Amino acid sequence: MTKIFDFKKEINSEELKQAAKSIRNGNLVIFPTETVYGIGANALNYKAVDNIFLAKGRANDNPLIVHIADFDMLDDLVDNISPLEKKLMDAFMPGPFTLILKKKDIIPNNVSANLDTVGIRMPANKIAHDFIKEANIPIAAPSANISSRPSGTNIEDIKEEFNNKVDIIIDGGDTSVGLESTVVKVIDGVPTILRPGKITPEDIIEIIGICKLSDNLFKKADGIVESPGMKYKHYAPNNKCILIYSEDENKLIDLVQKNIKSKTLIIGNEKHKDKYDSYKYLSYGITLDDISHNIFSLLRKADKYEPDLIIIEGVKKEGLGIAIMNRLIRASSYNYIEE
């Protein structure tokens, strides 16, 4: 039976030591970060990492991100950090930021999907930091969800999925960001966002002066990918889903109204909750931060109403809206209407 440790009010030092010992011994532990919950294994233990893929039902050509507690852990894991990469790490770590770097052989090939690179992240969440520090090992951890399902932002959404599949779940309450980290690779001297997140292009431009977006942010990537969240169906509810957006608010409302069926559930802006005659309306809030924080949990909640269709109101693709739309386009299986 999976053990649940409640750290919502405070970190229990003895239970933290138990969790750290468990993951060192090759078991799986789910833990909170500021972005989403992660399902973690010792990143240096090939067999333990394999168990992540089994627990999630995850394709093994989908690379994992390695989490560290501090920069002291980096030297053993990666090679040839450039001054630009160092500047990015100094600016955004710890935080919701992952940097693709040249890996050393100590990292098993199943972590990196047989690539010579690996994503490195240093969480800002105190529970995650203290857990990794106590374990004293790098931790490979994708989002804690069954593959293709929305990522877990609280344990209520995921504990049944992983009961008896992991040794321990650490409950830290709701995650603060709600979307997975921004993944960046420096390509030809330019920071390139492979997966958007809370750290926006504008944030990177402010530090570095330049930033590019991957061509695959709003379409399915084929072949080899260096970041999770690029290739496979992800973030999706079980029921059919359509994403609708217009920069003109009245046109957006009209487009949604035209697509409503007899048992349609709408996920949208709090300001629009009285605009539609639908089966059910779930508000994701008003601001982009609201949407980021709430959207994965709402996608899971929507399935419980067993609608014949889920319609999601989109947002403008700028700032944090780039990350939100990246997730929602995939959640809707590319069923996207924009006018």
Residue with tokens 């992800």: 234
Query: Within 10 A of 253 (CB to CB), how many other CB atoms are there?
Result: 18
3-state secondary structure of 95: coil
Q: Give domain status of residue 220, yes or no.
A: no
**Within a domain: residue 20?**
yes
Q: Which residues have CB under 8 Å from 75's CB, separation 6+? A: none
- Average pLDDT score over residue span 50-64: 93
User: Bigger pLDDT: 315 or 279?
Assistant: 315
The answer on pLDDT for 307 being more than 80 is: yes
Residue 88 and residue 166 share a domain: yes
Q: What letters, b where the CB count within 10 A reaches 16 and e where it falls short, cover 224-247?
A: ebbbbbbbbebbbbebbbbbbbbe
Q: Give the domain range for residue 285.
A: 241-338
pLDDT higher than 80, residue 235: no
Same domain, 10 and 125: yes
User: What CATH number corresponds to the domain at position 321?
Assistant: 3.40.50.11030
| Whether residue 200 sits in one domain with residue 265 | no
Is there a domain that residue 230 lies in? no
Do 129 and 69 contact (CB within 8 A), yes or no? yes
Total count of domains within the chain: 2
Q: What is the predicted pLDDT for the residue at 273?
A: 92
Q: Do residues 34 and 129 both lie within one domain?
A: yes
Indicate if 207 and 270 belong to the same structural domain.
no
CA distance 235 to 252: 23
Q: State mean pLDDT over 153-171.
A: 95
Report the pLDDT value the prediction gives residue 237, as an integer from 0 to 100.
85
- Residue 255 in any domain: the answer is yes
pTM: 0.95
Which pLDDT belongs to residue 107?
Answer: 98
Q: Which of 213, 233, 254 is the last residue of a domain?
A: 213
Closest CA to 179 of 208, 157, 201, 150: 150
Between these two residues, 334 and 229, which has the higher pLDDT value? 334
Taking residues 219-237, what's their average pLDDT?
A: 70
In a domain, 235, yes or no: no
Contact 111, 134 (CB under 8 A): no
- Across 171-184, average pLDDT: 97
For residue 329, the model assigns a pLDDT of 94
Q: Are residues 281 and 327 in the same domain?
A: yes
pLDDT score of 234? 67
Q: Judge if 177 and 315 occupy the same domain.
A: no
| 329: in domain | yes
**What type of residue is 333?**
S
How confident is residue 223, by pLDDT bands cut at 50, 70 and 90? low
Instruction: Provide DSSP, 21-78.
Output: HHHHTT--EEEE-SSSEEEEEETT-HHHHHHHHHHHT--TTS--EEE-SSGGGTTTTE
Considering the domain architecture, whether residues 7 and 78 belong to the same structural domain is answered as yes
How far apart are alpha carbons 226 and 201 in whole angstroms? 19
Amino acid at 175: T
The answer to whether the bond into 94 is cis (omega within 30° of 0) is yes
Report yes or no on 223 lying in a domain.
Answer: no
Q: What is the 3 state secondary structure string of 222-245?
A: CCCCCCCCCCCCCCCCCCCEEEEE
Domain check: are 56 and 163 in the same one? yes
Residues 286 and 187 both lie in one domain:
no
Percent of the chain's residues with pLDDT above 90: 88
Mean pLDDT of the chain: 95
Residue 85 domain-assigned (yes or no): yes
HSE-up (13 A, CA, CB side) for residue 126: 9
- CB-neighbour burial class of residue 284 (10 A; exposed 0-12, middle 13-18, buried 19+): buried
Q: What is the pLDDT of residues 246-267, one digit of tens each?
A: 999 999 999 999 999 989 999 9
* Token pair recorded at residue 304: 């419980």
Residues 13 and 153 in one domain: yes
Under the banding of pLDDT at 50, 70 and 90, the label for residue 233 is low
Higher pLDDT, 86 or 1: 86
Residue 229: predicted pLDDT: 64
pLDDT the model gives residue 9: 97
Which CATH number fits the domain that encloses residue 195? 3.90.870.10
Do 199 and 258 lie in one domain? The reply is no
pLDDT digits (tens, 9 = 90+) for 71-128: 999 999 999 999 999 999 999 999 999 999 999 999 999 999 999 999 999 999 999 9
pLDDT at 59: 85
pLDDT digits (tens, 9 = 90+) for 261-296: 989 999 999 999 999 988 999 999 999 999 999 999
